[in-house]
Structure 1
């Protein structure tokens, strides 16, 4: 039962990273677009799905709260400020999304800025959180002892910037898949720049892990099978390069999705069997079996599968390109 909830948590986080990742990326790229018409199209590409994408963050939070309450309490203690800022960013971009089309043209720039700023804040804080977990939090007798800013370090800031670049890359690939004409071509030109920036970020993370002798580095060396994931990511990067050279609209998004999945798989198995590296294990964090079994009948076999079906149907219905060309919606 514990492994079931670990798997469900990992799947929920992975789905969130991919789905909300691309619409947060579109939000950040939104700030690089001056044309009002192009901004309208960019928002239209995510309008049917953005709020459903964010639901997966709620799912992950509910699983942590119910199945791993120790981790939930510890993470909130350690990341109180980043989580608050992230949630405020998500709220701000949601409000901006709804109000932008109803605002007078002379004040629309306020909501445009809010949409970009909210997307950037949420993305950056998610990356900072991951970076702090990788670098390691300060614990004393099993309790978090790092203070209100124990999560803040040059490495966590670097990871915040890196995730923003990764989301922007995912967003650019989504725009290539969903848009026509010049908007698609601009996004296609952005992909190589963002991909190189993400590569530089990954190299910087690896060098930092070597220099600082981070515990996670030893896990990579002790578990050589983990290099299957970077190899998979490298193969996906080659597919990405080929799809850009051959001007394919569909494959760039899937290639970057595989890269994200490879990075997530590397981190998840590097942390195993810890929920919070390297302080709280899965068994220590798990709720009593009775609680896990009770949740199973609601969240496990009803809500989660229903959400998967809803997402699949939603993306199926709103497939295709957005715009004013024939055959689009």
Structure 2
């Protein structure tokens, strides 16, 4: 039953990063576009996100519940020592959702629409940055456990691990991944006149991902981060990154010729490979602290609890996944099988 729970955990993680990341990326693209382009982007984003604008958050809820029930030791470290960036993530998600609704459905159309637009765009930027910073804090090795360091101060314990250059760069890297996903996916949603704009933004986003990825590696090496050295030494991570780099060529060709299905396939596959490389580097030691690495498989819930959790996930999956796919199909959100090329 443990492997069933792990499958649902990994699946939820990948789906949220890919689908939720694309939603955040749409706001990032809108934020960094000219005023002339923001209006058509806003219209396209609404048409794409409107029917399912909060559906993707189900994956992060499932992931949190799995960690809370099945892996309480890991959950405890994450929510206690990184409660500040996680609170900012929740604030960003809330502001994004509220702004998205009010900027389209507010009964009074006026100056408040500009405020809603700004809130939506900024929250779409800061949320993935703090998500990335949270992950960065988990792998930097600077988390100070209170039980091992009872005299440690508030800043050292709750602020320093995530408010550093390395975690910030990882946050920016994830934000660029989100903008890359959104620009690639939106190519298939735009009219012929707007498609070239998204193709151009997709190329810029790819360059931004490469640049921030390079900065993360250089900074990690300069600061002596075990995560980076282990990342480079891990053959599975190296193979995933190499394959992702090779796929840049067919992806650029797909973008150049506006091949919608190929853009989405190669774009989603590249991000999945990058996520796999990052996740496999230290697994099951996913958290590094000043006291050493914490094994993800330590402190598991009792077997009886894992059995109930696994059965609940299977039943829930049989209900949720078909319903989610039906929702996407009902609003013509599943584009992979449509011939739009």
Say yes or no: TM over 0.5.
yes
Aligned residue number for residue 56 of structure 1: 59
Question: Are the counterparts in 2 of residues 243 and 251 from structure 1 also a CA contact under 8 Å?
Answer: yes
Aligned residue number for residue 22 of structure 2: 22
**How far apart, in 2, do the equivalents of 1:179 and 1:166 lie?**
20
Q: Secondary structure, in 3 states, of the residue corresponding to 2:51? A: coil
Aligned residue number for residue 317 of structure 1: 330
- Residue among 154, 158, 162 paired with 2:165: 154
**How far apart, in 1, do the equivalents of 2:174 and 2:127 lie?**
10
Aligned residue number for residue 304 of structure 2: 290
Q: Secondary structure, in 3 states, of the residue corresponding to 1:188? A: helix
Structure 1: runs of 5+ lacking an equivalent: none
Aligned residue number for residue 134 of structure 1: 139
Q: Structure 1-normalised TM-score?
A: 0.90
**How far apart, in 2, do the equivalents of 1:208 and 1:228 lie?**
22
Structure 2: runs of 5+ lacking an equivalent: none
TM-superposed CA distance for 1:63, in Å, is 0.6
Aligned residue number for residue 272 of structure 2: 261
1:18-97 maps to which residues of 2 (within 5 A)?
18-31=18-31, 32=33, 34=35, 35-97=38-100
TM-superposed CA distance for 1:176, in Å, is 0.5
**How far apart, in 2, do the equivalents of 1:308 and 1:235 lie?**
32
**How far apart, in 2, do the equivalents of 1:311 and 1:255 lie?**
23
TM-superposed CA distance for 1:52, in Å, is 0.7
TM-superposed CA distance for 1:221, in Å, is 5.0
**How far apart, in 2, do the equivalents of 1:44 and 1:200 lie?**
31
Task: Please list the CA deviations of residues 222-281 of structure 1 after superposition, one character each: whole Å capped at 9, or x if unmatched.
Answer: 532332211221132222111022221232222221111111111221121224235221
Question: Are the counterparts in 1 of residues 5 and 309 from structure 2 also a CA contact under 8 Å?
Answer: no
RMSD: 2.3
Indicate how the Cα distance of structure 1 residues 106 and 137 shifts in structure 2: closer, same or farther if over 3 A, else same.
Answer: same
Indicate how the Cα distance of structure 1 residues 139 and 96 shifts in structure 2: closer, same or farther if over 3 A, else same.
Answer: same
**How far apart, in 1, do the equivalents of 2:46 and 2:21 lie?**
14
**How far apart, in 2, do the equivalents of 1:223 and 1:183 lie?**
41
Indicate how the Cα distance of structure 1 residues 211 and 302 shifts in structure 2: closer, same or farther if over 3 A, else same.
Answer: same
Task: Please list the CA deviations of residues 12-50 of structure 1 after superposition, one character each: whole Å capped at 9, or x if unmatched.
Answer: 111100000111100121222535354122221111222
1:78-227 maps to which residues of 2 (within 5 A)?
78-103=81-106, 104-140=109-145, 146-149=156-159, 150-220=161-231, 222-227=233-238
Mean CA deviation greater in 80-89 or 5-14: 5-14
Give the total of aligned pairs.
Answer: 323
Q: Structure 2-normalised TM-score?
A: 0.87
Q: Secondary structure, in 3 states, of the residue corresponding to 1:274? A: coil
Indicate how the Cα distance of structure 1 residues 248 and 273 shifts in structure 2: closer, same or farther if over 3 A, else same.
Answer: same
Question: Are the counterparts in 1 of residues 48 and 333 from structure 2 also a CA contact under 8 Å?
Answer: no
Question: Are the counterparts in 2 of residues 20 and 50 from structure 1 also a CA contact under 8 Å?
Answer: no
Question: Are the counterparts in 2 of residues 178 and 321 from structure 1 also a CA contact under 8 Å?
Answer: no
